[in-house]
C-alpha cells in the first residue's frame, strides 16, 4: 500500500467540497512537502502499524484520519526513546509495546478533535471586545464569558442590552452589581466595577474568559476512564498500560487541572529556586492514579499539534508514582511530571510521614516529524 498516491491526490484536487477534511487539505496543490513528511513518518514506524496507518490516513473521515496521525506521532516519539511495537491487538487496537529494558506494555492512543478552532474563538472575542468598547454610559463594567462564542457571533444585540442595563443602573432602577445575557448559543455575565467613567476612559474595564480547562477535562476524563476500563476487561489486563491523548489543536488544559485529575490535590506546593515541587501524602482526594483498579497505569501522555506547523507536536508526560510498574522520565524522552525520589525521602524525613515529591523533569517538549 502507498500513502497519498498521485492518483488519489489528483482525484481529490478535482473533488468539489470536502475542504473541511484533513485528507483534502493534505492533498492540496501546495501541500507536497507535508505529504512527503507524512510518508516518511509512516515509513519510519513498525511494519505492524504501517498498513493500518495508511488506511486511516487515506480516509475522508477526520476522526479516522486523525486517529492514524495520532498513532504515528505517538509511535514515532516513543520509538526515539527506545520503545518497540511488537503487535496490534484488536479490537481497538491496543498496541503491544516493548519498553526500554524489555518490559511488555500496552499503548492506548486516544485522538481528540476540537469542535471549535482557537483561531475562530480569538476572532469572536476580538469582535465582542470591539463592540463593547463602543457602549455608551457612565458606569464602568467588566465582562465574563461563561460559554464560548460561536464563530458567526453578532455582538450588537448584546451591546444594545448592556446599554439598556446601564440606563437602569444610572436611574437607580437596578439592584446589585451583576447582569447576564443568555440565549441558546452564548452566555455572558456583566459586572459593575463601582466606578464612574472618567473623561477619555472606556466603559469596558476587562473581558475575562472563556475558561476552557474545565470543559476540556469534561471531554477527556470519560474517554480516559472508558479506555482504562476496557483495558482492565481485556486479556491484556495484567500488562501495564500507557495512555496517549493526542489533540489536533493545543490542549486547553492547564497543568493544575491535569495534576488534580490524575494525582488529586497536593498537600503542599513548594517553590524552589529552579522549579516547583508538589507534595502528595499517602491518602488524598480521588484521582485516576490513586484509584486501585488503575494501578496498572504507568502514565498519560498529552500530545497536541501546532496548527501553524503540522509536523510539529508538543509532548508532555504525567507519570504515575503509585503504579505497580512505575516509569522513569528517561523511558519517555520528553518533559515529564514525575517523582523526585531524593526529594521524597528528604520531605518524608522532615515531615515524619511518607510523601511523594513530584516535579517536572527534562526540557524536551516538542517532536519534529519532518
Residue 172 shares a structural domain with residue 252: no
Confidence at 357, pLDDT banded by 50, 70, 90: very high
Residue 153 shares a structural domain with residue 249: no
Confidence at 291, pLDDT banded by 50, 70, 90: very high
Local structure of residue 133 (DSSP, 8 states):
T
Q: At residue 239, does pLDDT exceed 60?
A: yes
> Which among 114-128, 139-153, 274-288 has the top mean pLDDT?
274-288
**CB 323, CB 266: distance < 8 Å:** no
Tell me the CA distances in angstroms from 353 to 260, 304, 357, one per residue in order.
21, 38, 12
Confidence at 270, pLDDT banded by 50, 70, 90: confident
**CB 31, CB 25: distance < 8 Å:** yes
Say what the pTM is. 0.78
Among 182, 202, 222, identify where a domain stops.
202
pLDDT (0 to 100) of residue 118: 47
Specify the higher pLDDT residue, 332 or 155: 332
Least confident of 94-103, 128-137, 273-282: 273-282
Phi-psi region of 209 (alpha: psi -120 to 50; beta: other; left: phi over 0): left
Residue 160 shares a structural domain with residue 37: no
Confidence at 202, pLDDT banded by 50, 70, 90: confident
Q: At residue 34, does pLDDT exceed 80?
A: yes
Comparing C-alpha atoms, which of 105, 89, 347 is closest to residue 97? 105
Confidence at 238, pLDDT banded by 50, 70, 90: very high
Q: Is residue 304 part of a domain?
A: yes
Q: At residue 369, does pLDDT exceed 90?
A: no
pLDDT in tens, 166-200: 999 999 999 888 998 887 667 888 999 888 888 77
Among 156, 179, 202, identify where a domain stops.
202
Residue 237 shares a structural domain with residue 347: yes
Q: Is residue 218 part of a domain?
A: yes
Q: At residue 53, does pLDDT exceed 50?
A: yes
276-286 burial: b if 16+ Cβ within 10 Å, else e = ebbbbeeeeee
Residue 305 shares a structural domain with residue 364: yes
Specify the higher pLDDT residue, 121 or 239: 239
Q: At residue 9, does pLDDT exceed 50?
A: yes
Residue 47 shares a structural domain with residue 70: yes
Q: Is residue 193 part of a domain?
A: yes
Residue 79 shares a structural domain with residue 3: yes
Q: Is residue 122 part of a domain?
A: no
Residue 19 shares a structural domain with residue 83: yes
CA-CA-CA-CA dihedral for 47, 49, 50, 54, to nearest 10: 170
Residue 51 shares a structural domain with residue 197: no
Among 202, 232, 250, identify where a domain stops.
202
Q: At residue 280, does pLDDT exceed 50?
A: yes
Number of domains in the chain: 2
**CB 212, CB 187: distance < 8 Å:** no
Q: Is residue 332 part of a domain?
A: yes
Find residue 319's DSSP bridge partners: 299
Residue 176 shares a structural domain with residue 56: no
pLDDT (0 to 100) of residue 15: 85
- Residue 150 structural domain: 134-202
Amino acid at each position: 500500500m502507498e500513502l497519498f498516491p498521485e492518483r488519489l491526490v489528483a482525484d481529490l484536487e478535482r473533488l468539489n467540497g470536502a475542504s473541511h477534511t484533513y485528507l483534502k487539505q493534505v492533498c492540496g496543490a501546495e501541500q507536497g512537502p507535508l505529504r512527503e513528511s507524512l510518508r516518511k513518518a509512516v515509513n519510519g514506524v513498525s511494519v505492524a502499524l504501517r498498513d493500518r496507518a495508511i488506511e486511516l490516513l487515506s480516509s475522508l473521515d477526520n476522526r479516522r484520519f486523525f486517529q492514524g496521525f495520532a498513532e504515528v506521532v505517538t509511535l514515532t516519539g516513543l520509538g526515539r526513546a527506545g520503545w518497540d511495537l511488537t503487535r496490534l491487538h484488536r479490537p481497538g487496537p491496543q498496541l503491544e509495546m516493548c519498553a526500554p529494558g524489555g518490559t511488555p506494555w500496552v499503548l492506548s492512543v486516544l485522538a481528540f478533535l476540537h469542535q471549535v478552532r482557537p483561531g475562530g474563538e480569538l476572532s469572536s472575542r476580538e469582535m465582542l471586545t470591539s463592540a463593547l468598547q463602543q457602549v455608551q454610559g457612565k458606569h464602568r463594567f467588566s465582562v465574563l464569558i461563561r460559554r464560548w462564542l460561536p464563530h458567526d457571533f453578532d455582538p450588537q444585540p448584546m451591546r444594545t442590552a448592556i446599554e439598556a442595563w446601564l440606563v437602569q443602573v444610572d436611574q437607580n432602577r437596578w439592584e446589585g452589581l451583576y447582569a447576564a445575557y443568555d440565549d441558546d448559543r452564548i452566555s455572558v455575565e456583566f459586572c459593575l466595577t463601582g466606578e464612574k467613567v472618567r473623561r477619555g476612559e472606556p466603559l469596558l474595564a476587562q473581558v475575562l474568559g472563556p475558561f476552557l480547562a474545565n470543559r476540556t477535562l469534561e471531554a477527556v476524563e470519560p474517554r480516559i476512564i472508558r479506555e482504562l476500563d476496557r483495558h482492565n476487561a481485556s486479556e491484556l489486563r495484567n500488562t501495564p498500560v500507557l495512555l496517549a491523548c493526542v489533540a489536533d489543536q493545543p490542549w486547553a488544559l492547564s497543568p493544575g487541572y491535569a495534576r488534580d485529575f490524575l494525582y488529586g490535590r497536593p498537600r503542599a506546593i513548594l517553590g524552589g529556586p529552579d522549579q516547583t515541587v508538589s507534595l502528595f501524602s499517602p491518602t488524598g482526594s480521588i484521582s485516576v492514579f490513586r484509584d486501585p483498579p488503575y494501578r496498572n497505569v504507568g502514565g498519560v501522555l498529552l500530545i497536541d499539534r501546532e496548527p501553524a506547523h503540522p509536523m510539529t507536536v508538543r509532548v508532555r508526560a504525567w507519570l504515575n508514582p503509585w503504579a505497580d510498574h512505575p516509569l522513569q522520565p528517561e523511558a519517555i524522552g520528553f518533559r515529564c511530571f514525575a517523582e523526585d525520589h531524593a526529594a521524597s525521602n528528604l520531605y518524608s524525613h522532615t515531615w515524619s510521614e511518607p510523601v511523594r515529591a513530584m516535579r517536572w523533569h527534562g526540557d524536551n517538549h516538542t517532536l519534529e516529524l519532518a
